[in-house]
Structure 1
Amino acid sequence: MDSKNIIIQQPQAFDLVDRKILVAGVGVGFEGTISLYVSDGHFEVESFAMAGGTSLRQFQAEITIPDNVNFELDRIFLIASDDTAGCEEAPCTKVFVPLLFAPRILENYSGYWNHTVQNGETLSSIAQHYYNDSSMWKAIYRANTNTINNPDIIFPGQNLRILRVD
């Protein structure tokens, strides 16, 4: 459902996120409350943010994914909803933002480098450069599934996110 009642400004679609997800946007909800959910379809974590009750207002919130929640998919969804009054008479406003859960892709994730693909590079050669292990190409692929359809086809000039561990 396309909604102007809730607009998520952060995180953006397919951003890499850690266990602490900072959410910001503008919205209006029943009694000023916007429900927030993070889910992969198997596990769900809930939170909320305070926004406007009668007009659009800025909101921000933090959702922490507990260590005992082990998502089964790299792709998770942030769902923002005005469902606090119930949805019996009219459909609830819901906004879905697809995200990539980096700790599932690479344990101890701490950020990422931007890498611009050069002529002749492959995911394996890039993995060898950053990780000293060409078999780590799968982590690069999984962190960039929104821009790479086939791991055997990358293009010079393409920007890739290379997960980092500190």
Structure 2
Amino acid sequence: MGLVSDVRVRQPRANDLVGRRFVVAGIGGGFEGTIGIRVLGPGGKLLTTAFAQSSGGGIGVGDFSAEVRLPDPPRAGTRLTVQVFGDNPGLPDEGPSPGFHTREVEVICFPDSQGHLIYRVEAGDTLTGIARALKPYTRVTVSQLVKANPAIDDPDRIRAGSRLRAPVQG
């Protein structure tokens, strides 16, 4: 029989901004319908694990979603790797580690964020000026703006018309 299982992550997407709690969702299947989730910090350090149940049950591929919580989140702007996989309940030497069809998504963590604003850069804007203009809405630093926007190659040169994300922090 040629049945195949798979795991696909729909949320979060690459370079999404996440807080100390965020949702991981997609489609997939695993042993008894279980999807495993791990979040790795810098250097591959395991920060947390979670699980979701696939609506496909024990034999099919279906929707899944789970809220992931970071009990000891890293500092703002840290890049994390979210691993999602079909659960492998076997012995450590059975099957791939951490599980089948492992998918990885790189995200950027702002633990105290409650979302983000989008700012369209206008001619003459600087990151310092943008951080000041956003003060009524969020306390974001120039460094955090750079970390939240991986497309910024040179902080001294931002292009008019580009859209920047600014984490909404307390």
Q: Structure 1: which 5+ residue stretches go unaligned?
A: none
Shift of 1:58: 0.5
Residues 4 and 75 (structure 1 numbering): CA distance in 2 closer, same or farther, change over 3 Å? farther
- The amino acid of 2:68's aligned partner reads I
Aligned residues between the structures: 155
The answer on whether the counterparts of 1:39 and 1:45 sit within 8 Å (CA) in structure 2 is yes
Q: Structure 2: which 5+ residue stretches go unaligned?
A: none
Of 96, 99, 105, which aligns to 1:97?
A: 105
Moved more, 23-32 or 84-93: 84-93
CA separation in 2, counterparts of 1:75 and 1:43?
13
CA separation in 1, counterparts of 2:74 and 2:108?
11
Residue 63 of structure 2: aligned partner:
58
Listed one character per residue, the Cα deviations across residues 117-143 of structure 1 (whole Å, up to 9, x for unaligned) are 1111111111121128xx921111111
The answer on whether the counterparts of 1:13 and 1:98 sit within 8 Å (CA) in structure 2 is yes
CA separation in 2, counterparts of 1:109 and 1:32?
32
Shift of 1:154: 1.2
Residues 50 and 154 (structure 1 numbering): CA distance in 2 closer, same or farther, change over 3 Å? same
CA separation in 2, counterparts of 1:158 and 1:8?
27
Shift of 1:43: 3.7
Report the secondary structure of 2:146's partner residue. Answer: helix
- The amino acid of 2:70's aligned partner reads I
* TM-score normalised to structure 2 length: 0.81
* TM-score normalised to structure 1 length: 0.83
